[in-house]
Amino acid sequence: MTRKNLTTDDVSKHNTQSDCWMTVRGTVYDVTEFLQQHPGGPQALLAYAGADATGAYDSVHTPELLEKDAPASIKSLGPIDPQSVAVDLGALNDTSSTKPPLESLINTYDFETVAEKTSSAKAWAFFSSAATDLISMRLNKEAFDRVLLRPRVMRNNKEVDTTTTILGVRTRSPFFVAPTAMAKMIHQDGEIAVSKGAGAEGIIHIISTNSSAPIADIISAGLGPEKQTHFLQLYVNTDRAKTIALLKTAREAGVKAVFVTVDAHLAGKREADERLKVDVPVKSAVSGAVSHNDKKGGGMGRLMGLYVDRTLNWEDIPWLKSVCGGLPIVLKGIQTAADAQLALKYGVQGIVLSNHGGRSLDTSPPSIFTLLELHKVCPEVFDHLEVYIDGGIRRGTDIFKALCLGAKAVGVGRPYLYALNYGAEGISHLTQILNDELETTMRMCGVTNLSQVHPGFVNTAMIDHFVPDSTGHPYVKWRPKSMI
Amino acid sequence: MTRKNLTTDDVSKHNTQSDCWMTVRGTVYDVTEFLQQHPGGPQALLAYAGADATGAYDSVHTPELLEKDAPASIKSLGPIDPQSVAVDLGALNDTSSTKPPLESLINTYDFETVAEKTSSAKAWAFFSSAATDLISMRLNKEAFDRVLLRPRVMRNNKEVDTTTTILGVRTRSPFFVAPTAMAKMIHQDGEIAVSKGAGAEGIIHIISTNSSAPIADIISAGLGPEKQTHFLQLYVNTDRAKTIALLKTAREAGVKAVFVTVDAHLAGKREADERLKVDVPVKSAVSGAVSHNDKKGGGMGRLMGLYVDRTLNWEDIPWLKSVCGGLPIVLKGIQTAADAQLALKYGVQGIVLSNHGGRSLDTSPPSIFTLLELHKVCPEVFDHLEVYIDGGIRRGTDIFKALCLGAKAVGVGRPYLYALNYGAEGISHLTQILNDELETTMRMCGVTNLSQVHPGFVNTAMIDHFVPDSTGHPYVKWRPKSMI
Amino acid sequence: MTRKNLTTDDVSKHNTQSDCWMTVRGTVYDVTEFLQQHPGGPQALLAYAGADATGAYDSVHTPELLEKDAPASIKSLGPIDPQSVAVDLGALNDTSSTKPPLESLINTYDFETVAEKTSSAKAWAFFSSAATDLISMRLNKEAFDRVLLRPRVMRNNKEVDTTTTILGVRTRSPFFVAPTAMAKMIHQDGEIAVSKGAGAEGIIHIISTNSSAPIADIISAGLGPEKQTHFLQLYVNTDRAKTIALLKTAREAGVKAVFVTVDAHLAGKREADERLKVDVPVKSAVSGAVSHNDKKGGGMGRLMGLYVDRTLNWEDIPWLKSVCGGLPIVLKGIQTAADAQLALKYGVQGIVLSNHGGRSLDTSPPSIFTLLELHKVCPEVFDHLEVYIDGGIRRGTDIFKALCLGAKAVGVGRPYLYALNYGAEGISHLTQILNDELETTMRMCGVTNLSQVHPGFVNTAMIDHFVPDSTGHPYVKWRPKSMI
Amino acid sequence: MTRKNLTTDDVSKHNTQSDCWMTVRGTVYDVTEFLQQHPGGPQALLAYAGADATGAYDSVHTPELLEKDAPASIKSLGPIDPQSVAVDLGALNDTSSTKPPLESLINTYDFETVAEKTSSAKAWAFFSSAATDLISMRLNKEAFDRVLLRPRVMRNNKEVDTTTTILGVRTRSPFFVAPTAMAKMIHQDGEIAVSKGAGAEGIIHIISTNSSAPIADIISAGLGPEKQTHFLQLYVNTDRAKTIALLKTAREAGVKAVFVTVDAHLAGKREADERLKVDVPVKSAVSGAVSHNDKKGGGMGRLMGLYVDRTLNWEDIPWLKSVCGGLPIVLKGIQTAADAQLALKYGVQGIVLSNHGGRSLDTSPPSIFTLLELHKVCPEVFDHLEVYIDGGIRRGTDIFKALCLGAKAVGVGRPYLYALNYGAEGISHLTQILNDELETTMRMCGVTNLSQVHPGFVNTAMIDHFVPDSTGHPYVKWRPKSMI
């Protein structure tokens, strides 16, 4: 029954319930009979009728399932003609497109503007999108803009020092490359280039579980684990054995800490990303997740996150500690004082106040609100944990404001993706820009060393009344009967 | 004196005070002499000189009046040629217009965008319009956008349950199809299709008194009264006998509760609707009201609402209870804590906090303000009544926020009209979208069951200072002398 | 030396310091020698070199001065050729321009839109302009939009009564035609048409001191002083004898009260008006002021207000009372509680809280702020004076809000000018629209009679914190040394 | 080795690390060998490879260094052909461009609009730009717009007096020409014309350390030091001897006070200025700084400010007093109450609350916020120092508001640069406009003399809650461990 030279065109003609083919891992299958037997229902399969279902398959099944244990109702028709499959990651980022000279870019927005014009439509949609109405994404930046500085004058600040430590590790600047998925979508060197640029500039790089390059390659591409620091961002897999394996690999490669993401156990509804189909499936070299489409659309975040364990909860912390093998653990995505207190109670080393760049849940609070909430509700947290924030950091002034309010460091996400558009050089150039802006801010405020910053340098009056006072509601005392 | 083959062209030539014809219920009359005798004055008649006055006539008179008791000064000239009258309800909604595939619509706004482009101008004007400067309509949505969520992390929420009860009836989702008039204007299947879609998705449908299909047809079109729940929205008629008859019909058809609208005893000034003349009169199959024009314009809400009893007041509640025959009564359109307290006192089963989608009185409060006002002034209401809200609900986050603040469920109005543009499939698709968004919100906030929601999940600081504290004014103590 | 047939062209050639002609009251003069002797300096004259200076002359001099007492250095050259002078008031308002049918206009903004398109450029500039950056003009309306209504439901309001009294005079509606200058610029019938329209609708008309028609003509054009009420707006003239004469004329014509403007003893800087030269000088039939240009521009308000007495102060009130001959006196333009208290002390009958439609001083407070300030600082004022407000009243809801906060009535200014574009019919139609909107608002709020309104119907929380608490500054205690 | 007729074209071809020429002070050098020996590193030189480096050179070195002490690795190639160098300051401001007649400009914005259209691109970029996102620049003006006036009526204000004193010196108006650099870029007469215009109008002119004309020339161009007052703005030079010399020159020329800038010891990041290369280097006739480019861009403020001493601090005040030779000292750029208190402690005569027109650090506070902060935290400052403010002053109302809140006078910066576009006449005309607006504001508020202004004339409620209460943060008590 096996045929030769099956092309994607051939497959595409069998796209109905009564005649349903699809390609998985290079083999074409006739699943017409199997449709009604599929445990997930026929609709889940029909979304890929006449198309390649490798991504969806890999997100939930092991390769063995189809290779060894396929039911008889699934008929293998033979290999797909490789020529007819255009999986060309290079096509995702048109490196030949004309970009302005790197040195003409002088702020984070310049990188964003260029990326919008020169990256692939899908890369732009995936990276720039955020949840539903983009309210939190915009509020992230607006919240910083409404914090005013209080510059002190007539202080000798000829020399300025921007260095600090994060989890005890020295860094040239109090900001790090926040973890972002699938960097190769915007530049063929992907995370390799990020690692090189971060190493050159002396800042810390957090590697995503959904990286498009292997962890060991990323780390070895830079100055090496002795001279450069990498942390790992972690999504816990429903198959926890995979997580254990991943952590082992990471530790061996030289990762120094684990940032567990807690605000994206499912993906937010990023509509710009959903509306644009995945035309060329891509695969994470770390988690193994593959981008694909289903009938809801082409949301990469949603479809590549299917493996993430939605049962993860506070009682899993001891297990996490055990499998991290002594590496410091940081929880990324804390959005309330109540959860910051739990993080303290459960004994992690740090927290990242974050709404995932506005990508997870719209109208979730900007991290600067949460940072202020901690001061109101549980200031003791700052004595025992390192607190970081991310989301909306676009200027040196933003970094300075966060530090004045007790953040140990800040994460910069999308801007580094947009800078990666220029490879390692872009990473380096953006880092210099942000460091320059930070230095200027410090000098203008009369500060020469980050140990001197304190809340007196910022006026938060424009946002103070938006910050909740407690973990409950100030005057709505109603409770559902089930809680009384 | 009777003539044959009178056409609308013939009638249109007699359009002055000294030569005035008009058509009513298929008969052409010469009312020139009668003009000065008309109890409502000649102007009311002259608005229809040379045209069809059936709609205006039916809104205030019984058919018998003209057929049996017409004064001698009204001269019947014979029947209008039916061929010359183009009453084609289908012309109101161009079902042939090209719409994007239903599955490409992924949120409520998509439905609105498509409806604006593909529904008839008059349908769009009637459905989308709101009172005068649209301030309340816009504020409805903006108020939700300014309520921030407070997501709790690290909780097991693999399984999520969106079911709840409304007036003791089980529903798959805590939102219902709010009552809206004349659904056939946007799709030929009108309320029939709404009923089918709501039934398929397990949510409750509230039938409007100004429905374009009969109540019994609507209910039987779905799963039937045993398996699907319908409520009735009620405008009390000046001729109360008609209301009694209507309620009897509704009960017999299987309606389970009555939502009495209290914020539209007259229609708001919806200027977009007024500016567009009614070209094809349409008639409600329930109330019998007919759309028409007068010299102020073509406001359908205003002209089809002429029969509504403006004397209805709290002392009518016992009568209402008696004629509802034991069905639960809900007052729709409560906008102050003071009236919520009266609703409690008068013993109804529920209230809908609503400003009628901003359609009744501009600068009336968005329902989320009123919801908060109740918590400030009369929190006991939540213990004894079911409280619903509508107006501006466009996202799953909006639904979740309302529930956290004590709403038992929310109504969704215009979005379902726009979804009806796609028939029952549209109703179904929109319901799935909203339910999906609600599920995502619940998971992101760490909630698996609606019995777990509470005010601690929302930060209302951005709108708190807009909420009145009491039923009076906080510092203006002036009272008119008539009140002292 | 007298020449014949001197044309405006001839005059225009003599437009330098060394050869300076100008026309005054139909005669051409050579003022070259006189330039240096002019008490006001040569610049004041040179602004009219080669042009017609009648307007500027009349604003400050009597006709006799030039006719009888001219110095020898002014040489009369003879009469200007009347043919060459195009003083055609009709040209100022192009009554032939195509306007939409009156009945298609359904709100105040429609009248504004039509006026902008169909009135003369200078009329539009004069009427629509406001002081400098238009902040107060815009704030006037925005302040109303931010006051929310609190509608009460379930009240019998079949019948609604909008009548009230102003200074003891019955009026159909609680709003009046606010005084505005030079109405003929927008319609040839000017104030005559306003009077007719106001009379037909039963509302009060306040005649401007800068009316383009004589007071007696205005009053007699309507229903006559027995059946219709007119008040007079007064600018006190530097030559007080003129004011005494004017008041005598007004009383004899039947004026029932005097509204003394106190916020425009000089004109605000209305830049749109300044930028457009007066091409056809016009003259007030009441004050005698004439529009003209000078080197600062063509600001009609500024140039026609030169006669206003800038020395007028509280100590002049007894004199005002004496010359008003027992007519009630109202001060128009009160903007602080402190001045409201002085008005009470000095014994006038009423005050208009007003910032002159934003035309006098930019960033002056909208009247609704001042109304609230009175309640905070001196609520006793409401017991002894009638308090009116104007500025930004564009909707029936605005009127209702003002009344709920203690205003006895409100003034409507620009909208009536724009309505006058349609003559008396326009005045009538706009009045009906506003009355209709007011009735709808009353019914929606459950009010049937204006004696029932009170502050409980409005929520002013959105503007409360902008209202000053006292007559000083809440925390800035600095005082200039001269005051200590 | 010397060649003749070297042109800029010739030089431009040698623009790499392995073949590097550049021109300094009219001589072409081959610095290829010297690159690695440059104390500042090769990059600093390579920024000028193939180009003219005079500006950068002069900013940090004396002419002698290269002429006498050049190392052997720098090879002089001979003079540049003067014909090939187009240093034409006139080219920077196209005086032939068509400007509207001066008298048609009626406010500060008109001058700005004309300047944008008619000045050179680089002049516009340099003058109009501000730090990064322009938030502070915009907030400067918006803060004034949100302060409302509280006009008092019925006061005799026929005569109005705008005179006051600044540091004991009489001035016709309570505003001065704030110091701005390189005025010749917008008009060939530069500071000479400013001096003439300010003298004619009787206001004080503050001369910038980066003036394009010599101090003595500027002062003598006006009415002379006896009849006209000039102050000097000072940037302290890293080479303090130069500052001592400059102050001596200034005193001898007749300068009456010294305004030491304390908020620009480094320049803000003015991106519009950076993006536009300096095509024609210009040089300050006072400080000697020269505009040039480097690899970051062409930011004139940044590159001409390299000489400013970043070590300047409070302990330098005694030295400053000694070198100012008894002239009053004012600190310009105070932005916190804490620094105002230090200024008082260290015994200067005045302070300018300023954020440098938003040009130094974005999100620094608008001066009106700082002015209010002083009243909250240290009102005693007003008893001992003269307090001025600048930034965002565009209207007479702005001036009046500042004075009501205790400012002795205000500075007007950019508007005077834009007015200079018309030479001395422009300076004069703008002054008259502002004085007129101030007079109108005074009259409208019932004030005839500046000694009568006080805080009761302004309502700051719209900005009060943005003003910090103390020198610390109201509730964030976190402090870095280094401070505990």
pLDDT of residue A90: 43
Q: Does B361 touch chain C (CB under 8 A)?
A: yes
Interchain proximity D314–A460, CB inside 8 Å: no
Q: How close, in Å, is residue D406 to chain C by CA atoms?
A: 7
Distance, in Å, from the CA atom of B331 to the CA atom of B322, rounded to the nearest integer, reads 15
| Closest CA relative to residue C292, chosen from C20, C12, C44 | C44
At B44 the three-state DSSP class reads helix
pLDDT of residue C207: 98
Using a CB-CB distance cutoff of 8 angstroms, which residues of chain A are in contact with residue B376?
Answer: 475
Helix axes B367-377, B337-346, angle to 10 degrees: 70
* Cβ–Cβ gap B152/A338 under 8 Å: yes
Q: Which of A226, A224, A230, A221 is nearest to A193 (CA)?
A: A221
Q: Is the pLDDT of residue A2 over 80?
A: no
DSSP C364: P
Q: By the 8 A CB rule, do A300 and A182 touch? A: yes
Strands D19-24 and D27-30: antiparallel
Burial class (CB in 10 A: 0-12, 13-18, 19+), B217: middle
Contacts of C315 (CB under 8 A, 6+ apart): none
Minimal-distance CA residue of chain A relative to D478: A406
How far CA C306 is from CA of A180, C58, C237, C302, C361, in Å, comes to: 70, 10, 9, 7, 17
Using alpha carbons, select from C168, C167, C177, C232 the residue that is nearest to residue C202. Answer: C177
- Which residues does B281 contact at the CB level (< 8 Å), separation at least 6? B52, B54, B55, B87, B290, B291, B292
Q: What's the gap between Cα D27 and its chain centre? A: 32
For residues B202 and C65, which has the higher predicted lDDT (pLDDT)? B202
A95-154 pLDDT, tens digit each? 555 899 999 999 999 999 999 999 999 999 999 999 999 999 999 999 999 999 999 999
Residue C87's pLDDT band, with cuts at 50, 70 and 90, is very low
The helix/strand/coil state of A248 is helix
Nearest neighbour of B106 by CB, restricted to A274, A364, A478: A274
> How many interchain CB pairs under 8 A, C with D?
136
At D379-415, the pLDDT tens digits run 999 999 999 999 999 999 999 999 999 999 999 999 9
Q: What is the mean pLDDT of residues A172-198?
A: 97
Could you give the residue ranges of the DSSP H alpha helices within B361-413? Answer: 367-377, 381-384, 396-404
Do D454 and C360 lie within an 8 Å CB cutoff?
A: no
Give the pair of three-digit tokens for residue A302.
Answer: 């949603």
Distance, in Å, from the CA atom of D416 to the CA atom of B124, rounded to the nearest integer, reads 54
Pick A178 or D280 by higher pLDDT. Answer: A178
- Specify the pLDDT at position B96: 52
Distance, CA of B335 to CA of B465 (rounded, Å):
17
Longest distance between any two alpha carbons in chain A, whole Å = 85
Q: What share of chain D is helix, strand, coil (3-state, %, to 5)?
A: 40, 15, 45
How many angstroms from the chain centroid is the CA of residue A236?
Answer: 14
- H/E stretch holding D241 reads helix D240-253
Q: B336: distance to nearest CA of chain C, Å?
A: 6
Q: Do B263 and C151 count as a contact with CB atoms less than 8 A apart? A: yes
Question: How far is Cα A439 from Cα A435, in angstroms, rounded to an integer?
Answer: 6
What pLDDT score does B470 carry? 79
In this structure, are residues D285 and D213 in contact, taking their beta carbons and an 8 Å threshold? yes
Cβ atoms of A418 and A114 within 8 Å: the answer is: yes
Query: Hey, is the C-beta of B101 within 8 angstroms of any chain A C-beta?
Result: no
Question: Which residue, among A58, A47, A51, A126, has the nearest Cα to A294 in the 3D structure?
Answer: A47
Cβ pair C468:D149 closer than 8 A: no
Cβ neighbours around A170 below 10 Å, total: 11
Identity at B38, one-letter amino acid code: H
The pLDDT of A57-76, averaged and rounded, is 81
Give the separation between CA A300 and CA A122, rounded to whole angstroms: 9
**Structure tokens belonging to residue D7:** 């042109």
D151 touches chain C (CB under 8 A): yes
In the annotation, is A475 catalytic?
no
- Residue identified by tokens 């993080």 is A343
3-state SS string for C167-229: CCEEECCCEEECCCCCHHHCCCCHHHHHHHHHHHHCCCEEECCCCCCCHHHHHHHCCCCCCCC
Annotation says A263 is catalytic: yes
Q: Which residues contact D438 (CB under 8 A, 6 or more apart)?
A: D162, D173, D174, D175, D396, D399, D400
Predicted local distance difference test score (pLDDT) of residue C79: 85
Residues of D in Cβ contact (< 8 Å) with C133: 145, 395
**∠A385-A388-A389 over CA atoms, to 5°?**
145
pLDDT along chain D (484 residues), means of 10: 75 89 88 87 82 76 79 88 57 63 96 94 95 98 98 96 98 98 95 98 97 96 96 96 96 98 96 90 88 88 91 98 97 98 98 98 98 97 97 98 98 98 98 98 98 97 93 87 69
Answer whether C145 sits within 8 Å of B133, measured CB to CB: yes
Tell me whether C461 touches chain B (CB under 8 Å).
Answer: yes
Q: Which of A103, A145, A150, A453 to mutate to test the interface with D (most CBs of D within 10 A)?
A: A150
Radius of gyration over every alpha carbon of chain B, rounded to an integer in angstroms: 24
Residues of C in contact with D453 (CB under 8 A): 480
**Catalytic residues of C, which ones?**
235, 263, 356
Q: A440 vs D268: CB contact, 8 Å cut-off? A: yes
Contact flag A468-B455 (C-beta cutoff 8 Å): no
Which among B373, B411, B404 has a CA at the least distance from the CA of B389?
B411
Among residues A205, A356, A398, A422, the one annotated as catalytic is A356
- CA within 13 Å, CB half, D405: 30
Which residues 166-195 in chain C show a CB within 8 A of chain D? Answer: none
Chains D and A touch (3+ CB pairs under 8 A): yes
Res C381: pLDDT: 97
Q: Is the pLDDT reported for residue A183 higher than 90? A: yes
Question: What are phi and psi for residue D22, nearest 5 degrees?
Answer: -160, 160
Give phi and psi for B28, each to the nearest 5.
-95, 135
- Which chain A positions have a beta carbon within 8 Å of B106's beta carbon? 271, 274-275, 296-297
Per-residue pLDDT, averaged over A283-299, amounts to 88
pTM of the entire predicted model = 0.89
- From the list A154, A395, A458, the residue facing D473 with the nearest CB is A458
Mean of the per-residue pLDDT values for chain B?
92
Q: How far apart are CA D145 and CA D460, in angstroms?
A: 10
Interface TM-score (ipTM) > 0.90: no
A301 or D391, greater pLDDT: D391
CB–CB contact C333 D153 (8 Å): yes
pLDDT score of C439: 98
Residues of C in contact with D465 (CB under 8 A): 465
Higher-confidence position of C428 and B480: C428
D474 close to A (CB below 8 A) = yes
Mutate to test the interface with A, among B102, B104, B148 (most CBs of A within 10 A): B148
**Would you place residue A69 in the very low, low, confident or very high pLDDT band (cuts 50, 70, 90)?**
confident
In one-letter notation, the amino acid at residue A185 is M
Interface test with A, best of D132, D332, D483 (most A CBs within 10 A): D132
Chain D contact set for A429 (CB, 8 A): none
Establish if A484 touches chain B: CB-CB under 8 angstroms.
no
Judge whether C106 is closer than 8 Å to chain B, CB to CB: yes
For residue B18, the tally of other CB atoms under 10 A from its CB is: 7
Cβ proximity of D308 and D287 under 8 Å: no
Cβ-count burial of B333 within 10 angstroms (0-12 exposed, 13-18 middle, 19+ buried)? buried
pLDDT band at C238, cuts 50/70/90?
A: very high
> Which residue segments constitute the domains of chain B, with CATH numbers given?
8-84 (3.10.120.10), 102-464 (3.20.20.70)
pLDDT, mean over chain A: 92
Residues of chain B with confidence (pLDDT) below 70: 1-4, 59, 83, 85-97, 483-484
